[in-house]
Every structure is written in structure tokens, then in C-alpha cells.
Amino acid sequence: DTAVSQTPKYLVTQMGNDKSIKCEQNLGHDTMYWYKQDSKKFLKIMFSYNNKELIINETVPNRFSPKSPDKAHLNLHINSLELGDSAVYFCASSRGVGQGEGYTFGSGTRLTVV
Amino acid sequence: GDSVTQMEGPVTLSEEAFLTINCTYTATGYPSLFWYVQYPGEGLQLLLKATKADDKGSNKGFEATYRKETTSFHLEKGSVQVSDSAVYFCALSDRAAGNKLTFGGGTRVLVKP
């Protein structure tokens, strides 16, 4: 199936651990994104990459580090996890950076830090 | 900066009722506007979009018209079904802000049989 796929779907981990979330898209899109959705469903952009180049880097703690090995993949590594990092993280992609382009979202990774 | 404001939910309706979800925006440029829908346990799906003033986006019986004079993009459906129960997000993409998608806070809609 053509899609944006994220792994894992659920992640439960202890404070202080380091974890990664992987994202892959097979849509041939050039731009990929990470969004965080909090418990009140509010969505906020974290990062965006276009053809492996970082183009958006919002005010995010530097414990969060994105990595794009190629334009089909955008992974998110989180160091020293904190309770406040608990959220649903969505990966998305779009054909370009044109403002009329909608995004295709993955199904999300629910991260719970205990 | 850019922002999107939409009515808070939850909105509870009976099947076949008329649905309106209000959305207004603030943008420095001339944005494109979107509605996304999130069904329980799933990611967001693009429902409809409009890229210039007076454009009407439509899909699955939902409609929204880009109103530049009132900076609004209200979502409407004439007859809702139980399967329309979801969270609806209004969003904008602004070239002046690097084309990132800025979302409203979401409106939960519950349709009862």
C-alpha cells in the first residue's frame, strides 16, 4: 500500500531512556514532517525536511533530533525522555513545499513515559 | 504569527442533522486552507482544501468556502451520519511562514443514532 508508515505504533518507556521513532513514505514526496499531538489533541509542528535538508525547526528541546537518511525516511530520536514528552507523534509528507499541498499523515506513535 | 481558531467541542448531533464547525484564521500572507479529519485511533486525513478566495472545497458531503473578507473557512454538512463522528481540524499553510501547516485546536463531533 502507498502510505506514510511509522514504527512503533505504541512505545512505553521509563524516564531518562533514549528512544527512536521511524517513518517511511513510499509516495515519492520530497518533504517530510514531525508533529506532536498533546493530550488535548493540539497539533504542533516540530521539524520539516525537504530532500534531506532541514527547513523547519520549531522551538523543540535539543533532546529531540531528527535524521533523514534519504528523502523517503525521517526518523526522530529522543534523548533523556521526560514525562512531558508523553504524546502522540505524527509523521507526514507532502509533494513539495508549495502552500497548496496537503499533507499525508502516518497513523501516529503513542509515546508514554513513566 | 499565523493562527487558526475553531469552535470548541464536543458537538453532539443526531443522525441526519446539519453540521457547522466555525473556523477563522490569522495569517501574514495569503494562505491555503484545509480541513482534516481524525477518526479514533487513526492519523489525520485530508478532507478538503481551498487555495484562493471564494474557492469552495468539497468532499464526502462536506463543504467549506474560503472567505477572505471574514478570514473564515467554516465546515458544513447537510446530513451527518454516525460514521462522521471524529475530530475535525481546520488548518492553514502560509508561504510567508515557510508553508508549514498550522492547525486549530480541533473540534470533536459525536453523531448519535
Question: Mind listing the pLDDT tens digit for each residue in A56-74?
Answer: 888 789 999 999 999 999 9
- Mean pLDDT computed over every residue of chain B: 93
The proportion of chain B whose per-residue pLDDT surpasses 90, expressed as a percent, equals 80
Interchain CB contact of B106 with A (< 8 Å): yes
pLDDT above 80 for A80? yes
Of B31, B46, B108, the CB nearest to A102: B46
pLDDT above 90 for B59? yes
Residues in chain A within 8 Å Cβ distance of B93: 99-101
pLDDT above 90 for A100? no
pLDDT computed for residue B97 by the predictor:
65
pLDDT computed for residue A95 by the predictor:
84
Interchain CB contact of B102 with A (< 8 Å): yes
Q: Residues near A85 by Cβ (< 8 Å), separated by ≥ 6? A: A78, A111, A113
pLDDT tens, residue by residue, B67-83? 999 999 999 999 999 99
Cα R_g (chain B), whole angstroms: 14
Question: What's the CA gap between A41 and B89, in Å, rounded?
Answer: 10
Interchain CB contact of B66 with A (< 8 Å): no
- For residues B87 and B104, is the Cβ–Cβ distance under 8 A? no
Name residue A24's beta-bridge partners: A5, A73
Of B94, B95, B106, the CB nearest to A41: B106
Contact state of A98 with B99 under an 8 Å Cβ cutoff:
yes
Nearest chain A residue to B50, by CA: A100
Residue B77: Cβ-neighbour burial (10 angstroms; 0-12, 13-18, 19+): buried
Question: What's the CA gap between A102 and A58, in Å, rounded?
Answer: 20
Cell 511562514, residue located: B97
pLDDT computed for residue A21 by the predictor:
98
pLDDT computed for residue A67 by the predictor:
93
pLDDT computed for residue B9 by the predictor:
86
Residues in chain A within 8 Å Cβ distance of B48: none
Return the higher-pLDDT residue of B35 and B94: B35
Of B36, B43, B51, the CB nearest to A106: B43
